């Protein structure tokens, strides 16, 4: 008889999943809901192939990254396979947590009524506007955000790439859907900012690679066509699509003529018509525009933006976003925010052309960072000594768009194709009037040029809120978003 083999010791270097489950309750719409939170990391693996004579033959799987997620699932559901599930992620690239603790999850950061920075320390409160009453929620941190990391031996920068990011997030969604038996659930994505770019790309990738058709996609603070945002001398589009957001900002800070201060929506309608009409024509004419017409256009741009006509003439009729945030309230010694132009900041001096910092980002980073770090250990029971990356500037700076070299990044056609192949796919759009990062009128422009067949246009619903990029920090906008998102999910689920 051969001697019994001694079992091999486990390979401690091989990454493994780390999962924690906890039980909780929350009251939404006056009804108490019991739910399970599944927190942790799932290891993403890729199939490897043999080399040499057996090239192309599957050899096994290689660990590439440990992806952190937090999933909320109702516990009073008889058949989870029939309950909607929504996969959520933020943008940046390199960003996490905002949708989780801002609008969707059962806990939210308490920022008061207007969303302005409170005095520390900060706190979480029960989110009576959570979407957990209508759909389960899975919050995904892409590699290098949150607690998600490339495993030992792999390069993080390999994931800091337009295509690889979509593939890795899509593969995580496929893996979660299989392990937790959600293939027959109505499925949704929701992304914010660059997360909307990712979501549009995922719509195509999930359909083509995994045969996963979605019921709906939520796009919060949208960027599907980067041409609308790139301020370059040869690109006339950004000054046009930004002008209504400049008007909204000037309205908020009382920098417009009295007749334009009366009604925001009426003022924006005027600004929109001017932007697409005489202003667009003037910019397209360039140096051929006669001097008297140039002065007349500068005066009208000044009327809608609160910037002097003389400054606008010197800037060749074009207002760069960063110049606007510095110039609008220069006479008061203040700057305005890029993510949310309701916020104001104080620079070292008033002579530069760009602000020292974004006061709207400073207004939210502290509260979200502190509360999540406390929440994940204290209530969710998941511990790690890694820093939780709210926004990884390293990942952001390393991000590559190899597939879009010598052209603008654009995923609107990917979304159009996904909607055409899946005519039941519905789209929810949320924009903030005071968002200077992804302005609402740029989003309108993008969807007006999507090329959707008329039969599919009804699948897109657009909502605009009186706040900024993270419009949900503004309590009235949060309440409206909940109503709109709940209606969107219900409309996208077959009766």
Is pLDDT of 477 > 70? yes
Check which CATH number belongs to the domain holding 388 and give it: 3.40.50.1820
Q: 348: burial class by Cβ within 10 Å (0-12, 13-18, 19+)?
A: exposed
| Backbone phi, psi, residue 235, to 5° | -115, 105
Last residue of a domain, one of 296, 331, 357: 357
Question: Would you say residue 3 lies in a domain?
Answer: no
Same domain, 208 and 293: no
Cβ atoms 63, 14 nearer than 8 A: yes
Question: Would you say residue 2 lies in a domain?
Answer: no
Distance separating alpha carbons of residues 389 and 370, to the nearest angstrom:
12
pLDDT tens readout for residues 115-130: 999 999 999 999 999 9
pLDDT reported for residue 14: 83
Is pLDDT of 432 > 80? yes
Which range marks the domain in which residue 250 is found? 231-357
pLDDT tens readout for residues 251-260: 999 999 999 9
Cβ atoms 177, 189 nearer than 8 A: no
Same domain, 86 and 33: yes
Distance separating alpha carbons of residues 466 and 483, to the nearest angstrom:
15
Same domain, 90 and 171: yes
Same domain, 196 and 96: yes
Q: 439: burial class by Cβ within 10 Å (0-12, 13-18, 19+)?
A: buried
Question: Would you say residue 5 lies in a domain?
Answer: no
Last residue of a domain, one of 357, 386, 421: 357
Question: Would you say residue 148 lies in a domain?
Answer: yes
pLDDT reported for residue 2: 36
Q: What percent of the chain has pLDDT over 70?
A: 95
Same domain, 109 and 184: yes
Q: Report the chain's mean pLDDT, rounded to a whole number.
A: 94
pLDDT tens readout for residues 354-376: 999 999 999 999 999 999 999 99
Same domain, 433 and 488: yes
Q: Is the dihedral of CA 192, 194, 197, 199 positive or negative?
A: negative
Same domain, 376 and 350: no
Cis peptide before 93 (omega within 30 of 0): yes
- Helix H or strand E encompassing 171: helix 162-179
Cis peptide before 101 (omega within 30 of 0): no
Same domain, 332 and 459: no
pLDDT reported for residue 61: 84
Distance separating alpha carbons of residues 306 and 245, to the nearest angstrom:
12
Last residue of a domain, one of 335, 357, 379: 357
Question: Would you say residue 174 lies in a domain?
Answer: yes
Is pLDDT of 470 > 50? yes
pLDDT tens readout for residues 433-467: 999 999 999 999 999 999 999 999 999 999 999 99
Same domain, 333 and 381: no
Distance separating alpha carbons of residues 478 and 188, to the nearest angstrom:
20
pLDDT reported for residue 195: 97
Distance separating alpha carbons of residues 121 and 119, to the nearest angstrom:
6
pLDDT tens readout for residues 80-122: 889 999 999 999 999 999 999 999 999 999 999 999 999 999 9
Cβ atoms 323, 315 nearer than 8 A: yes
Distance separating alpha carbons of residues 28 and 128, to the nearest angstrom:
5
Question: Would you say residue 8 lies in a domain?
Answer: no
31: β partners:
28
Is pLDDT of 58 > 70? no
Distance separating alpha carbons of residues 72 and 5, to the nearest angstrom:
44
pLDDT bucket at 495, cuts 50 / 70 / 90: confident
Question: Would you say residue 332 lies in a domain?
Answer: yes
Same domain, 149 and 217: yes
Cβ atoms 73, 138 nearer than 8 A: no
Q: Is the dihedral of CA 313, 315, 320, 322 positive or negative?
A: negative
pLDDT tens readout for residues 120-175: 999 999 999 999 999 999 999 999 999 999 999 999 999 999 999 999 999 999 99
pTM: 0.94
Mean pLDDT of 295-319: 97
Same domain, 133 and 42: yes
Is pLDDT of 335 > 70? yes
Question: Would you say residue 11 lies in a domain?
Answer: no
pLDDT reported for residue 4: 39
Same domain, 66 and 134: yes
Closest listed residue to residue 328, CA positions, set 348, 311, 349: 311
Closest listed residue to residue 89, CA positions, set 166, 25, 141, 129: 141
How many structural domains does the chain have?
2
Cβ atoms 43, 17 nearer than 8 A: yes
């Amino acid at each position: 008889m051969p001697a019994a083999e001694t079992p091999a010791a486990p390979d401690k270097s091989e990454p493994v999943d780390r999962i924690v489950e906890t039980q909780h309750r929350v009251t939404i719409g006056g009804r108490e809901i019991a739910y399970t939170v599944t927190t942790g990391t799932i290891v993403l693996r890729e199939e490897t192939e043999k080399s040499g004579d057996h090239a192309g033959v599957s050899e096994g799987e290689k660990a590439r990254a440990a992806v952190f997620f937090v999933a909320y699932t109702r516990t009073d559901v008889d058949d989870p396979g029939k309950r909607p599930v929504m996969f959520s992620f933020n943008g940046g690239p390199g960003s996490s947590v905002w949708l989780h603790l801002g609008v969707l999850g059962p806990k939210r950061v308490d920022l008061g009524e207007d969303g302005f920075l409170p005095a520390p320390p900060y706190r979480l409160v029960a989110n009576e506007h959570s979407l957990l009453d209508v759909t389960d929620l899975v919050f995904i941190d892409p590699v290098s955000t949150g607690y998600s990391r490339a495993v030992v031996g792999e390069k993080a920068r390999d994931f800091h790439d337009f295509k690889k990011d979509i593939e890795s997030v899509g593969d995580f969604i496929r893996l979660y859907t299989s392990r937790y038996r959600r293939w027959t659930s109505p499925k949704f994505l929701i992304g914010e900012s660059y997360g909307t770019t990712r979501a549009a790309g995922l719509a195509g990738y999930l359909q083509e690679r995994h045969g996963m058709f979605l019921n709906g996609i939520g796009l919060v603070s949208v960027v599907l066509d980067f041409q609308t945002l790139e301020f370059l001398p040869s690109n006339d589009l950004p000054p046009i699509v930004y002008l209504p957001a400049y008007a909204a900002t000037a309205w908020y800070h009382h920098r417009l003529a009295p007749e334009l201060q009366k009604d925001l929506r009426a003022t924006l309608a005027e600004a929109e018509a001017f932007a697409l009409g005489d202003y667009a024509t003037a910019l397209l004419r360039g140096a051929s525009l006669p001097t008297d017409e140039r002065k007349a256009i500068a005066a009208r741009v000044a009327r809608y933006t609160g910037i002097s006509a003389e400054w606008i003439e010197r800037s060749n009729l074009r207002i760069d976003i960063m110049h606007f945030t510095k110039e609008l309230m220069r006479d008061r010694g203040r700057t305005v925010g890029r993510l949310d132009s309701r916020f104001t900041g104080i620079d070292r001096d008033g002579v530069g052309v760009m602000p020292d910092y974004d006061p709207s980002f400073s207004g939210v980073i502290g509260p979200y960072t502190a509360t999540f770090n406390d929440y994940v250990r204290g209530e969710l029971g998941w511990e790690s000594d890694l820093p939780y990356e709210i926004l990884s500037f390293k990942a952001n700076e390393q991000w590559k768009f190899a597939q879009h070299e010598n052209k603008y990044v654009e995923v609107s056609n990917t979304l159009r194709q996904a909607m055409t192949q899946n005519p039941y796919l519905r789209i929810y759009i949320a924009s903030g009037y005071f968002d200077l990062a992804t302005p609402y009128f740029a989003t309108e422009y993008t969807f007006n040029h999507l090329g959707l067949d008329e039969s599919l246009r009804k699948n897109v619903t657009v909502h605009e809120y009186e706040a900024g990029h993270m419009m949900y920090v503004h309590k009235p906008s949060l309440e409206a978003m909940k109503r709109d998102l709940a209606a969107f999910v219900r409309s996208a689920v077959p009766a």
